[in-house]
Amino acid sequence: MTNKHTSVLISGASIAGPALAYWLARSGATVTVVEKAPALRTGGQAIDFKGETHMELLRRMGILEEIQRRQTGGTDQTVIDSYGKRITV
């Protein structure tokens, strides 16, 4: 997309909305992001970035170092059933 007259409205300023806005704006679109929450939320879920694809995307966005600086150090969890069989990946 290189048409500078493209306008995009994105509903939602969680994780996907701003990420999409970044890439669309970088491609020349005029982007507006709207969010119904009156303020930034102070809590929420951690986001799990794994693998080279995620790392490359964060590198290209110029935010990998900041993401790594703010990492919480969480670890993966495994849930097993009563027979000892793993039921999550």
Can you give the C-alpha Rg of the chain in angstroms? 18
In the chain, which ranges are continuous DSSP H helix? Answer: 16-26, 51-61, 64-69
Q: Residue type for 6, please?
A: T
Question: Is residue 30 within 8 Å of 7, Cβ to Cβ?
Answer: yes
Please answer whether residues 58 and 50 qualify as being in contact, where contact means their C-beta atoms are separated by less than 8 angstroms. no
Contact 7, 29 (CB under 8 A): yes
Model confidence, pTM: 0.67
The Cα 4–Cα 14 span in angstroms is: 25
pLDDT digits (tens, 9 = 90+) for 9-68: 999 998 899 999 999 999 999 999 999 999 888 877 778 888 899 999 999 999 999 999
